[in-house]
Structure 1
């Protein structure tokens, strides 16, 4: 069987864009299973897509082709690349989508996707995912070697686009806050309303009592290892399945109940027992 092709986009589910991409893939690589990672990435949110790509790739078999199309620079001179990394294969715009993968892995080989004879014609200036990336990903899955997909890149030059750190990084003391007030930024909110945080708060041990300050309100917060350690409706912090600390409300949505958004800074303090 041909290797799977995964698809990660910000296309949403209402329009026919995703179906067009899948049609192109199946026309060239009919034996490759197509796996949807997500198509609900917020529009043009490269950082969100880069995080999700890092989270999922280790679950796929070697030689899986990952097609990632979150491409706010479509039609410009930004490059499209095909990359071998950690036993996996990626076709995507070079716009930061590899950021979190490159924190953990080195690229083994890469090409600029410039073989126009492999592309779907005519090429739309606003839909390179369908007309350039999908055909190249499909040819790769169908057996074409990487060297046939484009011009080789000099890996020693380290020229891939990397997203900047979320300033000021992970755990941070903000101005005009108490000296013991730790602040962390929300980097992701999942379907359940759990908020993933950049950094670490407290000592990370289960049972630790913290509090979260939102405006003038203070909410008690317990560090747990499982949701079952707290009562329904209680605010908790725990290490989530993706390796980040998560702020959650047991059997509820922290994002909805606390009006949280990606990018928000949260202020925490250690509660006295």
Structure 2
């Protein structure tokens, strides 16, 4: 049974998500539809890429992923269907694919050319659904588009390494539900540049001298609980489950005590710097 996932910035208030699901079921009553997220910030390409990149790998090979972010069809925003890592992705050529494919090269990319079927200004419903259902039936990419090699590339989301190889400048690419701040600096990049050297992470007025492997790693569980010092509210940097450096507040609550984003004053595309000692 085919699986079609949905990642959009549609939210939950409007009819958009329901209409898309209804159109899919109208064509394929037995398909499985999975909502990855409909709470992506409006038109937030890097946020959507982070979510889908770290979710799709948990799905079976051959799954079909509709990404409804900035999907209006224009001469500068064509539509793509892509085979990547044995998964299919349907999205606009707005740069999101370059973020998804930053580590794995797409096996095939086609520019969708079935737009004579568009009936409204709702391309996710009129185009993406038709492509997804075609693929779910076992159809090929060539039937719905022409092969291309070049896609829009968002280079500004890559970390910058200085010529002396002792500094990485990264960006905030995502703020999660707990207000934790995710950077675009991966563990792989950090280790390849750092080579075991001491370092300091700086973000606005806050610094971090150590990166933990998990949220609770800073706690010494061999010490009595009342002697461990501060627990809730501890600031820390860690490698998160997606393999990126994250700045967090231990057991934060954005609606009460605050979060890393609010307490550190960090938002999307703010700068994070890692300075390594000279050897």
With the length of structure 2 as denominator, give the TM-score of the two structures. 0.78
2:125 equivalent to 1:130: yes
Summarize the alignment of residues 1-273 of structure 1 with structure 2, pairs less than 5 Å apart: 1=1, 3-71=2-70, 74-77=72-75, 78-116=77-115, 119=117, 123-125=119-121, 127-148=122-143, 150-154=144-148, 158-166=149-157, 169-170=159-160, 184-199=170-185, 200=190, 210=200, 212=202, 214-215=204-205, 222-230=210-218, 231-252=231-252, 253-266=259-272
Aligned residue for 2:157, secondary structure, equals coil
Segments of 5+ residues of structure 2 without an aligned counterpart are 219-230, 253-258
CA distance in 1, matches of 2:78, 2:235: 44
Q: For residues 106 and 184 of structure 1, do their structure 2 counterparts lie closer, same or farther at Cα, with a shift above 3 Å needed? A: closer
CA distance in 1, matches of 2:276, 2:106: 42
Q: Report what 2:228 is aligned to.
A: none
Segments of 5+ residues of structure 1 without an aligned counterpart are 174-179
Larger proportion of helix: 2
Q: For residues 183 and 86 of structure 1, do their structure 2 counterparts lie closer, same or farther at Cα, with a shift above 3 Å needed? A: closer
Q: For residues 23 and 236 of structure 1, do their structure 2 counterparts lie closer, same or farther at Cα, with a shift above 3 Å needed? A: same
After TM superposition, where is structure 1 displaced by more than 4 Å over at least 4 residues in a row?
180-183, 201-205, 208-213, 218-222, 267-271
Aligned residue for 1:198, secondary structure, equals strand
Deviations 1:236-255 (A, max 9, x none): 11100011011111111211
Aligned residue for 2:246, secondary structure, equals strand
1:221: how far off? Answer: 5.4
1:104: how far off? Answer: 2.1
1:81: how far off? Answer: 1.8
